[in-house]
Structure 1
């Protein structure tokens, strides 16, 4: 007979929920952006006009308030002392679900803001809240909402010695423990992770299998695990990923990855085709999918996008991914032989991918699909020009991605069993590995 997993210890002073005043966030976020905005404007004048847009410098809670939502901010401790911020949107009182809980985890160099950039009607957290979900948005260590430690200074080298490995083993574990303790419930939690957020889940469940008991389903959007078939400028890092030379570290940062939030113009021009506004953006530079014509874009959305992305991260995180690209394995940082045991991931997992994604390729995701214990579907979006970043804030994300997420959350486990996918039977992609 199944017995529910035990609840974690109720919050102690170390884990006491903190609903923060908005002024604290406003100062932190604005300081982070203002510090680098002037540097960007020197070489890219387009930033000047974008900065004048009212929503450009708004924090995640401010954007939520603008969208007519009430958002809570909770600060939690990890076991290794990092201070992380969770953003929460409670469900509507008249919703059909009975307060089901879901965690949304942002992708590479992202933050909780990524999920609300599409505005009040098309953003995934609001869609989920409207149907009754208690929505929690994580912020991984190193982004501008999670830059604190109980002992280490944020500008110290020691603070930045982490990668996605610690985000899974410590950050996501702390998030799940905190939510379960605060709600005092054995209810299983749903999880949606994009890019690095999906990586964090795979790390946690493979290294600490007891967390498999706490989740109902994991929906992984363009997950980064096996990365042998990566395309674009990111390949240039792989040859120097184990022992990066000083010249490279001077270029990309010894602690924070590109702390100026700007790829040097000469490097952007050499490896990237498209507007400098995007080619000089570290995330777009790495992930590809550079928009060639933004004349029809809403200026307010463009301002929100380019002032919130990237949100910060460690150089070690990028180097860890580069090591994974080079080795062809999903392993610990600087330990190629110490692979994460993906067969320990027993939560039902659904994967969404795109044929136009430079980082999360279809052959690599098929390999991931067959490495985990309980895959339920691999849904491939073909020919829609959906790049790695656009799973969360793309113009067609609501139609192409979010509806499929809702389908998985509602019917996924019941409907799908084994290898039932729109494309999973096409095993010819495995030959491309």
Structure 2
């Protein structure tokens, strides 16, 4: 249309007296437009350089402060305040869990820890295993696979310490405990051929974890222990998303697993109460902006989380800011909040995930569906053969399931949990945590976790393993 209009204008000009006198004005016009384009690109390049410089400066600042923090811990080892802390007096404790790895923490607490490696689609996945309790020498035939949530790692299951952390509780109850680490986190960062700063490396969401990685882990455990091994799956938050996606994409695992336990299920998200929901409409745009800078990892470890971890230690851990980091996003529950664990929790948080994972969750929030990744109209046709991504077919889920939920969970609401319940063909058991204030992270670090949660998990496991009955109470 623009070309036709230009030709008509030139024709009219050529028919007019002294028509060629108009040509310089056209030349001036196009030169001006060309100059504008060049200027725009120069401005865009300068803006990109400014953004990159700003990001590099912020990352350098956070990294320097985090390194100073770690150096100080290594030198003094006195960065945590006792649970009896008050603003006037405090008792400083040594807590190396802030800087120890998961195997280091487990070993420090007197348990055996093994690291096992599985390669899935080139990703080198490292699992942590507690094969038995401190008081037994034989490996238990009873096996549990623990799958952590977003921004997390196997550390989730041990941070609450012996007697409270679920991995320790299960080991003490006679279980062989396997803890996964999803592709991209600090323990599963390597890849056979991709570099970790490449777009190809970060081209995944929880869909690929469910389709390839967790099945590979389960197959590996059965290879080690025998194909008749009874394996129960316990997932928290995104760990539940992975479970239900896997059971629809790889329905044969409905018959391989013994039971599934979903802590704070995150499948349907349209009723999410957390302020994180407000980020959903702009997640794709933010991911695109980061991609222009060559960044495909969502909230890398050297980002603001390191600064937050440093800030929320010592005398600051009781501040409103530090508490609200958790309460604002996940639900207020000060009674179950062990403030001495906050620096430990934050130091193990932010272990690496992809922007694609964050965008996938934002699509779930906006669509109200449990569906595969939405690439947009044209790429959906190429990938799926349809204009919209297919839903995960929950009618294929036949594994015995138990859903654990709480009324104060801002990320997993009662309405969304009920929507999941309604979609499952084999109706799952439901357990409402008996604490009105129990929030999304209390599943991992609640002070009263044994009474409120762990005993119910243990009794539910007993019901699905009649040949290995046991009774443990705390």
* TM-score for both structures, normalised by structure 1: 0.76
Partner residue, 1:63: 105
Partner residue, 1:209: 251
Partner residue, 1:421: none
Residues 1:292 and 1:404: Cα distance change in structure 2 (over 3 Å): closer
Residues 1:356 and 1:308: Cα distance change in structure 2 (over 3 Å): same
DSSP-derived class of the 1:351 partner: strand
Residue 218 of structure 1 and its aligned partner are, at CA, apart by: 0.2
1:113 aligns with 2:169: no
Residues 1:186 and 1:116: Cα distance change in structure 2 (over 3 Å): same
1:375 aligns with 2:416: no
Q: 2:124 touches 2:191 (CA, 8 Å); kept in 1?
A: yes
Query: Could you say what the CA RMSD is over the residues aligned between the two structures, in angstroms?
Result: 3.4
Spell out, residue by residue over 1:352-405, the C-alpha distance to the aligned partner (whole angstroms, 9 max, x if none): 001001111111111111212323311122543111111122222221111111
Residue 88 of structure 1 and its aligned partner are, at CA, apart by: 0.6
Partner residue, 1:303: 343
Partner residue, 1:73: 115
1:50 aligns with 2:75: no
State the alpha-carbon separation in 2 of the partners of residues 126 and 222 from structure 1. 20
Structure with the greater alpha carbon radius of gyration: 2
Q: 2:161 touches 2:168 (CA, 8 Å); kept in 1?
A: no
State the alpha-carbon separation in 2 of the partners of residues 354 and 178 from structure 1. 34
Range that drifts further, 308-317 or 206-215: 308-317
Residues 1:250 and 1:305: Cα distance change in structure 2 (over 3 Å): farther
Partner residue, 1:238: 280
Residue 36 of structure 1 and its aligned partner are, at CA, apart by: 5.3
Aligned equivalent of 2:123, options 82, 85, 106:
82
Spell out, residue by residue over 1:391-424, the C-alpha distance to the aligned partner (whole angstroms, 9 max, x if none): 122222221111111121112699xxxxxxxxxx
1:407 aligns with 2:459: yes
Residues 1:55 and 1:188: Cα distance change in structure 2 (over 3 Å): closer
Aligned equivalent of 1:133, options 168, 175, 187:
175
Q: 1:71 touches 1:87 (CA, 8 Å); kept in 2?
A: yes
Partner residue, 1:156: 198
Spell out, residue by residue over 1:307-337, the C-alpha distance to the aligned partner (whole angstroms, 9 max, x if none): 1123222221111111100000001111554
Residue 131 of structure 1 and its aligned partner are, at CA, apart by: 2.1
1:279-290 equivalences in 2 (<5 Å): 284=326, 287-289=329-331
Q: 1:350 touches 1:375 (CA, 8 Å); kept in 2?
A: no
Aligned equivalent of 1:221, options 218, 243, 263:
263
Residue 275 of structure 1 and its aligned partner are, at CA, apart by: 3.3
Partner residue, 1:174: 216
Partner residue, 2:444: 392
Partner residue, 1:269: none
Spell out, residue by residue over 1:241-285, the C-alpha distance to the aligned partner (whole angstroms, 9 max, x if none): 4554645778996323354342699xxxxxxxx7333556xxx48
Partner residue, 2:42: none
Q: 1:53 touches 1:303 (CA, 8 Å); kept in 2?
A: no
Range that drifts further, 343-352 or 327-336: 327-336
Partner residue, 1:329: 369
DSSP-derived class of the 2:353 partner: coil
Q: 1:342 touches 1:371 (CA, 8 Å); kept in 2?
A: yes
Structure 2 residue runs without a partner (length 5+): 1-59, 81-93, 309-318, 376-387, 467-474
* TM-score for both structures, normalised by structure 2: 0.69
Spell out, residue by residue over 1:14-36, the C-alpha distance to the aligned partner (whole angstroms, 9 max, x if none): xxxxxxxxxxxxxxxxxxxx995
State the alpha-carbon separation in 1 of the partners of residues 275 and 349 from structure 2. 18
Q: 1:87 touches 1:138 (CA, 8 Å); kept in 2?
A: yes
Q: 1:105 touches 1:138 (CA, 8 Å); kept in 2?
A: yes
State the alpha-carbon separation in 2 of the partners of residues 230 and 178 from structure 1. 36
Q: 1:102 touches 1:192 (CA, 8 Å); kept in 2?
A: yes
Q: 1:219 touches 1:349 (CA, 8 Å); kept in 2?
A: yes
Q: 2:338 touches 2:447 (CA, 8 Å); kept in 1?
A: no
Partner residue, 2:384: none
Structure (1 or 2) with the greater helix fraction: 2
DSSP-derived class of the 2:297 partner: coil
1:315 aligns with 2:355: yes
Work out the number of aligned pairs and report it: 366
Spell out, residue by residue over 1:116-172, the C-alpha distance to the aligned partner (whole angstroms, 9 max, x if none): 011122221122112221110011111100101111011212111111111111111
